[in-house]
Amino acid sequence: MSPKPIRKAVFPVAGLGTRFLPATKVVPKELLPVVDRPLIQYAVDEAREAGIEQMIFVTGRGKTGIVEHFDIAFELEQTMSERGKDLSVLECTRATPGDVIAVRQQVPLGLGHAIWCARAIVGDEPFAIFLPDELMVAREGGTGCMKQMVEAYNDVGGNLISVLEVPMEQVSSYGVIDPGKTDGALTEVLGLVEKPPVDEAPSNKIVSGRYILQPEVMRVLENQGKGAGGEIQLTDAMAKMIGQQPFHAVTFDGARYDCGSKVGFVEATLAIALSRPDMGADVRAIALDLLK
């Protein structure tokens, strides 16, 4: 029997974005632009490509702009239309009525708690999770990370996480999988280790911000105590499900940019600008000139 389709995605976006202050004092970090699209738009576009229909934003105080970004800006569109300007640039920001839902995480108790806040909307369906800080960019002519994961999920079902291979000396900065059997891009997950010492790391495959989880994880989170940092950790809940349900990792064929850091944000902006036909050559010339 085919697994239930992945129709819903949860985007935990309640964070304060303190590493980007003062830019994020009134503007959510997820709305900071990478070239000409806000960070959250890239994640939503990736979700749509994968066939996901409903976007669930777990927000906090001061984050209403994220939902408004996907609303119709009547005055803006009317003014642009009257001036003969092309409205197609706004097409990606329009959501089908009812397909964008926001819930509040009133207290910052960690990623696991943020996901649990969406339990009533997720219901009894498998669902995807996107960490928008992780900007995942498909290779030219390829597909996005979540589409690759959904294709794998349709074959094996259960729970999946995206992973990337990094140099072994970097594993201590990430969550790492304990791998089992590997078949192409698909690897069985036997365990999860958070930020292991290099000499104790079971692999160099790091968890990279995309998940497909079964609804049972919500029951695990509901009864889970605080973990590292005094927060309810999603990794702890996933670890409890290993062995209870199928659990696999998909090695993403593409590029990842850590937009949770300023350097990573600049790297993402440069990489995407350089890849754009309308500006790549100019940006490359500017970069070379600055490096002289």
267: left (phi over 0), alpha (psi -120 to 50) or beta: alpha
Cα(224)–Cα(237) distance, integer angstroms = 7
Judged against a pLDDT cut of 80, whether residue 225 lies above it is answered with no
pTM of the model: 0.93
pLDDT tens digits for range 75-94: 999 999 999 999 999 999 98
Q: Which of residues 283 and 174 earns the better pLDDT score?
A: 283
CATH fold for domain 8-260: Spore Coat Polysaccharide Biosynthesis Protein SpsA; Chain A (3.90.550)
For 15-40, give the DSSP string. Answer: ---GGGTTTTTTS-GGGSEETTEEHH
Cα–Cα dist 268/61, whole Å: 27
What is the three-class DSSP state of 130?
strand
pLDDT (average), residues 214-226: 85
Q: What is the pLDDT of residue 257?
A: 95
Q: How far apart are CA 26 and CA 23, in angstroms?
A: 7
Q: Would the pLDDT of 170 be above 90?
A: no
What confidence tens digit (pLDDT) does each residue in 255-270 have?
A: 999 999 999 999 999 9
Q: What local confidence, expressed as pLDDT, does residue 76 receive?
A: 93
